[in-house]
Each structure stands twice: as structure tokens, then as C-alpha cells.
Amino acid sequence: MYRVESDTMGNINVPADRLWGAQTQRSIQNFPIGTEQMPKEIIYAMALVKKASAIVNHALNLLPKEKTNLIISVCDEILAGKHDNEFPLVVWQTGSGTQTNMNLNEVIANRAHVLSGGQLMDKLRILHPNDDVNLSQSSNDTFPTAMHISAYKVIVDKTIPALRLVLF
């Protein structure tokens, strides 16, 4: 079963049970290149960036408290690994990670809508992926930031402990 999502390119069918939206679905269909999925470390780092951005946007009176709290809640779910299957995109995409950025925005917006009592089939939703979740952000900045965060976390959490086992 599918739901119809739309973006600037028109309507597209999205699996009814998926939290992603039109732009993620277009990426899946239009770029079937390779099988290497975006590493979860990048996804989690982007969730941290989205969470931090929501907090700052609220502090600047750009994002209402209710929307801020929803974004934070969904980002925390993502960071806990609860939605890993909602990030199907491959690493082969634009250098700025635009598709992955939008995948995060869509999943956060749609999950927030469900958390607030809505359904994925609803046309109007409490959060807009671009206007709310991506507020004050550019994938030209968020993606490299997420790459740095994920590299740091892998080095601190995995590489250094592994080296300690070998060297000491």
C-alpha cells in the first residue's frame, strides 16, 4: 500500500508504512547506484545537528516550543536506533549529502506528526520538513558537520579503544 506525497517535482507514491517522504523516494528510484548505505554514524550525527539546530532556533524565537520538543523527541528516537530502517539511501549522492539531509528532515517531520496524534496519510502535518526541521540549515554545512562529528565519535569510541587493546 502506498500514500501519495508531493514536492516541487509533483506527486510520487511512497510506501504507506515508511516515515520518509517524496524526496527520499525520488532518490531511491532515481539513483539506484551501488548498495553501500549511508553509515548509521552519519545518520546519528545528522540527528544531533538537527536536535541542536532546533534548540538554537527556539532560543532565537524562530521555532515554537511545541515544534522544538517534537524535533528533539524524534532525534532522540533516531539516536536510540529506533528508526534505522528509515534511512535507506546509498552513499552515492551529491557531495553535500542533500538526499540524506532531506531523508532526515522527512523522517523527523513525519514521525513528529505521528507522535502528535496524526497519521502518515494526512495531507497537513504539524512540522514541515524544510521550513521547520531544516530551519536555518544548509546541507552544504550540516553534512560536513555530521561527517566531522561521526569521525570524532568513531575515533573516540572505537579506534582509540581498539588501539589500547593492541598497544598496551
**Calpha distance 34→90 (Å, rounded):** 7
CATH number for the domain running over 36-167 = 1.10.275.10
**Calpha distance 105→109 (Å, rounded):** 6
The answer to whether residues 78 and 43 touch, using CB atoms and an 8 Å cutoff, is: yes
Query: Along the 168 residues of the chain, how does pLDDT read in single tens digits?
Result: 999 999 999 999 999 999 999 999 999 998 888 899 999 999 999 999 999 999 999 999 999 999 999 999 999 999 999 999 999 999 998 778 999 999 999 999 999 999 999 999 998 899 999 999 999 999 899 999 999 999 999 999 999 999 999 988
Give the relative orientation of helices 22-30 and 98-115 as an angle to the nearest 10 degrees: 140
Q: What is the DSSP letter of 118?
A: -
Q: Record the pTM.
A: 0.95
**Calpha distance 22→26 (Å, rounded):** 6
Q: Quick check: helix, strand or coil at residue 86?
A: helix
